[in-house]
């Protein structure tokens, strides 16, 4: 009987030890890092990984959009916008690479459009641009237009009026600038790409693993450069 009691005590002690071991189990460094990355990059599975060929297709199509938007520029203005566009797409590429997101094309066009005739391309892109403007401005009620754009047009319109522009002219130009800026954003980061960037720039868990400050710096550079492009486009639309 003593043997059985000793055996019972021994088995109970082992069981208790296993319970304590499970409570004090420490995750390996690899497990900690893996869990942190999963938490910091929630939604990663929704996006394909970046690849250079996709960006090559994207920039080819995107630049055709910008050709449509800048076709009324004179030679001097074209020379002004070209280096700014080059800078813009250097930053755009860095943002896609940094976040490891496969580039998307506004309008869901693919590489086949690159081999189509100029007339067909112009028609397709013009339709997409006009649909965007309808949804973002022309189809809105006056109240919606004011709600959406009033605060945004004030800084530029006030600046133009200090330089001698009348109020109507200043507001119209500021509105064109806002719409151009929104269109540029949709061309560069269409569909769910922009919300994804916003999420990564605000996610605290992302900042624990990745260089969130660098991401914010890149996006700030993009914003400044896109405003410069929008300002040029607004002069000819």
For residue 50, give the DSSP letter.
Answer: P
Say how far apart CA 199 and CA 203 lie, in whole Å: 6
What is the model's pLDDT at position 78?
86
For residue 139, give the DSSP letter.
Answer: T
For residue 49, give the DSSP letter.
Answer: P
What is the model's pLDDT at position 23?
56
Least confident of 12-16, 82-86, 99-103, 165-169: 12-16
Distance spanning both ends of the chain, measured CA to CA: 99
Whether the pLDDT of residue 41 is over 80: the answer is no
Please give the angle made by the CA atoms of 33, 29 and 51, to the nearest 5 degrees.
Answer: 35
Say how far apart CA 38 and CA 32 lie, in whole Å: 10
Mean pLDDT across the chain:
88
Whether the pLDDT of residue 156 is over 90: the answer is yes
Long-range contacts of 119-124 (CB under 8 A, 24+ apart): 121/64, 122/68
**Which residues does 209 contact at the CB level (< 8 Å), separation at least 6?**
33, 36, 37, 40, 41
Confidence at 215, pLDDT banded by 50, 70, 90: very high
Least confident of 42-56, 86-100, 125-139, 168-182: 42-56
Least confident of 9-13, 41-45, 176-180, 227-231: 9-13
Domain layout of the chain by residue ranges: 46-134+187-233
Please choose, from the candidates 112, 104, 123, 121, the residue with its C-alpha nearest in 3D space to the C-alpha of residue 187. 104
Count of CB atoms situated within 10 Å of the CB of 87: 16
* φ, ψ (nearest 5 deg) of residue 47: -125, 135
**Which residues does 73 contact at the CB level (< 8 Å), separation at least 6?**
81, 232, 235, 236
Whether the pLDDT of residue 73 is over 70: the answer is yes
For tokens 């002004």, what's the residue? 80
What is the model's pLDDT at position 31?
57
What is the model's pLDDT at position 11?
61
What is the model's pLDDT at position 79?
86
Say how far apart CA 154 and CA 219 lie, in whole Å: 23
Whether the pLDDT of residue 43 is over 80: the answer is no
For residue 163, give the DSSP letter.
Answer: T
Say how far apart CA 66 and CA 184 lie, in whole Å: 9
Please choose, from the candidates 209, 212, 224, 216, the residue with its C-alpha nearest in 3D space to the C-alpha of residue 40. 209
């Amino acid at each position: 009987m003593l043997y059985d009691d000793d055996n019972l005590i021994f088995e109970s002690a082992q069981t208790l030890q296993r319970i304590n071991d499970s409570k004090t189990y420490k995750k390996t460094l690899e497990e900690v890092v893996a869990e942190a990355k999963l938490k910091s990059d929630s939604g990663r599975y929704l996006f394909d990984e970046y690849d250079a060929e996709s960006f090559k297709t994207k920039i080819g199509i995107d630049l055709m959009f910008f050709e449509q938007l800048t076709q009324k520029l004179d030679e001097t203005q074209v020379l002004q916008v070209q280096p700014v566009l080059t800078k813009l797409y250097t930053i755009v590429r860095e943002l896609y690479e940094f976040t490891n997101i496969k580039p998307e094309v506004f309008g869901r066009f693919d590489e086949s459009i690159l081999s189509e005739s100029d007339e067909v391309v112009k028609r397709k892109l013009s339709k997409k641009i006009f649909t965007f403007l309808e949804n973002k401005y022309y189809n809105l009620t006056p109240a919606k237009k004011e709600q959406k754009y009033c605060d945004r047009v004030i800084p530029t319109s006030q600046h133009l009026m200090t330089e001698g522009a009348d109020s109507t002219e200043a507001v119209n130009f500021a509105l064109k600038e806002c719409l151009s800026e929104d269109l540029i954003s949709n061309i560069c980061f269409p569909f769910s790409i922009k919300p994804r960037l916003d999420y990564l720039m605000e996610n605290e868990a992302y900042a624990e693993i990745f260089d969130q400050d660098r991401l914010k710096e890149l996006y700030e550079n993009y914003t400044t450069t896109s405003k410069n492009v929008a300002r040029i486009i607004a002069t000819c639309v």
